[in-house]
Amino acid sequence: MAFDPAFLDELRARTPITSVIGRRTKLVRSGRNWKACCPFHGEKTPSFYVYDDHFHCFGCGVHGDVISFVMQSEGRSFPEAVEELATAAGLEMPRMDRTQREAQREARTLGDVLEAVQQAWRLRLHRNEGREGLAYLRGRGLTDETIAAFGLGWSGDGRGGLVAELAAQDITAPLLAQAGLMRVDEHGQPKGELFFNRVTFPIHDRRGRLVSFGGRILGDGQPKYLNGPETAIFSKRRVLFGLDRARAAVRAPRGGGHAAPAPELLVVEGYMDVIALHQAGFTGAVAPLGTALTPEQMEALWQVSSAPVLCFDGDAAGQRAAVKAAETALPLLNVERTLRFCTLPEGEDPDSLLRQRGTAAMAALVEGARPLSEVLFGLLSEGTRDPGPEQRAALRQRLVEAAGLIPDKSLASEYRSTLLDRFFATFRRRPAMSGRGGRGQGAAPAARSLAGVLPVAPDLDAQSVAMERMRILTAILLRHPEVLEEVQDAYCRLDMPPELSALRAVMLDMLADGDGNADASALLEALGARIGEANLSDMRERVLSSHPLPLSAQERDDLMVMDIRQEWWHFYALLNVERFAADIRLDTERMSTGPIDERQWESLRVRLLTLESLRRGGDIPDTQ
């Protein structure tokens, strides 16, 4: 039944979620919110939190509002949960209109038809006509207990026997067609059974209601696997094979102490994979119905687990499936839900892996499932080896665009930072020091403007000196973000420690969003706001406090007349003077043979002045 959203809003407003959950588990104050031991899985340390309008368990991932709590804790359907809460709140249930009543009647009727067919097909599997199908299932390693538990059956030869067999129950050919069990002609009239000579797999929705069937043909017929068509009660986009069983297994109450952890919610490709995994103890296995995962199926997965594991074959098709899943998931991610991936050896599927290598091999693969961010970088950089500047720029753009698909800004920023950090470490790693007899490794001369204001301790080792100079570069940009646009490419090349990398990601995000066109004071204010949103204010203060600005009026006046850009390039060059000089030579050659861009020329001029200053100071030989 479809409810008026206004009615549901009023119901939620009249029903304090804490009072409903408090009847099931003891709640304890935690600041403005409440916490408890999760009622859906056994635990000793509370990880179940209740907020004003929803709940979330950081242990098992279960979450929702007051209606979904009643559904999940009491096993009720949505209308049943609404009716229970409405009665308690003194609200009158809205009445169904004629269309809704007819739809509900039709769903009940089609469900009865499917159940009757299911009983017939289960019996056929164990009769003489189904011996070939039963032999096939046993040959795939399934026990009789598993075959019975999943309700596997045999469809028969499809010569009208189903209609005749069910006639005594007033189930006609048109009803079988409405339930998706018969083909129809161009006029919509039944013209033959859809499933014939197939092992049958009943398909249930997440509440365990039978909604359709799948079938596997024996021999060389096509298609090998066949699913029922869309009907009034079945939508392929919304259903996952085995989700009803996996949902119950993942959410089953567990005692304390040494109770086994909840099984992983594991997404595989086919019926037989799911059944074989359940038989082997991986009772959280599910599968889509012959298509790529849809947004609706992902939403259903996240209602059961905050981090389901997607298990794909290691071949090209598996790679394509992983890419598609990542593309579908990114716009749906938030801080409470993600995906993990495990990749099977090439040529293996879960069923074959279990039969040939055993449960330990499968368990190891699931245990080693990788986070989405790591897999996403691998998918986007696939085939990239020793890229040139153009390829690096294109890859970086792909990474930024992928992170930008995430609607949650804070999470998108974290993904962007993580992906770019991996990018810098993989493709733009540079030697921290020059390799020419220690050139460029010493501290900057104390008399050189900011070199005196932001000193580098002379007793640090080479690696520490490099890190200190990166902090100086970051401190300059935190005070003068207007310089960032000119130096961003060079800044991105640096292999920085995590705290500096996080600040860099925020600055690059701001630049990518177009804030770089603001004036200096507005840009500084915008950067401060973004750093605050990313919870990096303390980190920024640590960087700035370690490199304070001059305090005297004279020092401040001297600083104002300096070229901040030249000072930034000075410390950047000291990280690798040979590389700095080579970049300048390359840019000079390019500009001498092509059109002159004023901004590029100005940047080159500043770097040339920096290079000359380094030569005069003895930090780089005249032959460079």
Instruction: Give the pLDDT confidence score for residue 278 in this predicted structure.
Output: 96
**Residues 430 and 579 sit within 8 Å (Cβ to Cβ):** yes
pLDDT single digits (tens) 283-341: 999 999 988 899 999 988 988 888 999 998 777 777 888 888 998 999 999 888 899 99
Q: Answer yes or no: is pLDDT of 22 > 70.
A: yes
CB-CB contact of 73 with 63 (8 Å): no
Kindly provide the b/e burial profile for residues 582-621, where b requires at least 16 CB atoms within 10 angstroms of the residue's own CB: ebbeebeeeeeeeeeeeeeeebbebbeebbebbbeeebbe
- pLDDT tier for residue 255 given thresholds of 50, 70 and 90: low
Torsion of Cα atoms, 419 then 422 then 426 then 428, to 10°: 80
Q: Looking at residue 461, what is its pLDDT?
A: 63
pLDDT band at 565 (very low <50, low <70, confident <90, very high): confident
The predicted structure's pLDDT at residue 303: 83
| Residue 414 binned pLDDT confidence (cut-offs 50, 70, 90) | confident
**Tell me, what's the pLDDT at 97?**
64
pLDDT digits (tens, 9 = 90+) for 231-247: 988 989 989 999 999 98
Residues 6+ away with beta carbon under 8 Å from 510: 481, 516, 523, 526, 527, 530
- C-beta atoms surrounding 158 within 10 Å: 16
* Confidence category of residue 445, pLDDT binned at 50, 70, 90: very low
* DSSP structure class, residue 597: P
Which DSSP symbol is given to 515? G
CB atoms within 10 A of CB 127: 11
Kindly indicate the confidence band of residue 136, based on its pLDDT and cuts at 50, 70 and 90.
very high
Contacts for 13 with CB less than 8 Å, ≥ 6 apart: none
User: What is the CATH superfamily name and number for domain 5-89?
Assistant: Zinc finger, CHC2-typedomain (3.90.580.10)
Tokens of 105: 């009647």
Query: In this predicted structure, what is the pLDDT of residue 98?
Result: 65
Residue 103 has pLDDT above 60, yes or no: no
Q: Do residues 466 and 433 touch, judged by C-beta distance below 8 A? A: yes
Which are the contacts of 521, defined by CB distance < 8 A and separation ≥ 6?
none
What is the distance between the alpha carbons of residues 285 and 278, in angstroms, rounded to a whole number? 7
Specify the residue for token string 């999760």: 38
In the prediction, which pLDDT does 594 show? Answer: 62
On average, the pLDDT of the chain sits at 81
Q: 507 near 539, Cβ under 8 Å?
A: no
pLDDT value of residue 32: 72
Domains 104-227 and 243-380 in one fold: no
List the structure tokens of 269: 């490709």
Confidence (pLDDT) at 79: 85
Inform me whether the pLDDT recorded for 184 exceeds 90. no
Is the four-CA dihedral 226, 124, 210, 337 of positive or negative sign? negative
Structure tokens at 71: 């559904």
Is the pTM value of this prediction over 0.85?
A: no
Reduce the secondary structure of 334-372 to three states and give it as a string. Answer: ECCECCEEEECCCCCCHHHHHHHHCHHHHHHHHHCCEEH
Whether the Cβ atoms of residue 48 and residue 25 lie closer than 8 Å to each other:
yes
Length of the chain, in residues: 624
Is 266:285 a contact under the CB 8 Å cutoff?
yes
Least confidently predicted of 119-128, 304-313, 415-424, 445-454: 445-454
**532-560 pLDDT, tens per residue?**
888 888 888 888 876 655 433 343 344 44
The candidate with the shortest Cα–Cα distance to 246, out of 214, 294, 205, is: 205
List beta partners, residue 285: 266
Q: Is the pLDDT of residue 273 over 90?
A: yes
% of the chain at pLDDT higher than 70: 84
Query: How many other C-beta atoms are found inside a 10 Å radius of the C-beta of residue 238?
Result: 16
The pair phi, psi for residue 126, each rounded to 5°, is: -100, 10
Between the CA of residue 203 and those of 157, 163, 252, 358, 540, what are the distances in Å?
A: 21, 21, 21, 27, 55
Locate the domains of the chain by residue range. 5-89, 104-227, 243-380, 430-616
Burial of 418 (0-12, 13-18, 19+ CB in 10 A): buried
pLDDT at 210 over 70: yes
DSSP code for 143: -
Topology (CATH level 3) of domain 243-380: Dna Topoisomerase Vi A Subunit; Chain: A, domain 2 (3.40.1360)
pLDDT score, position 571: 85
Strand 225-227 vs strand 210-217: parallel, antiparallel, or unpaired?
A: antiparallel
Is residue 231 a contact partner of residue 257, using CB atoms and an 8 Å limit? Answer: no
Tell me 212's DSSP state. E
Task: Judge whether residue 413 has pLDDT over 90.
Answer: no
State whether residue 231 is helix, strand or coil: strand
Residue 164: pLDDT above 50?
yes
- Range in 26-35, 68-77, 511-520, 572-581 with the lowest mean pLDDT: 511-520
Q: State CA 465 to chain mean position distance.
A: 38
Distances (CA, A) of 580 to 372, 387, 425, 552, 608: 36, 20, 19, 33, 10
- The CATH class given to the 104-227 domain equals alpha beta
Cβ within 8 Å of residue 447, ≥6 positions away: none
Q: Which of 198-212, 376-390, 436-450, 467-481 has the highest mean pLDDT?
A: 198-212
Query: At a CB cut-off of 8 Å and minimum separation 6, what does 237 contact?
Result: 291, 294, 296, 297
Percent of the chain at pLDDT > 90 equals 25
- pLDDT of amino acid 100: 59
Strand order in the sheet with 340-343: 285-286, 266-267, 309-312, 340-343, 370-371
Name the band, by pLDDT with cuts 50, 70 and 90, for residue 592: low
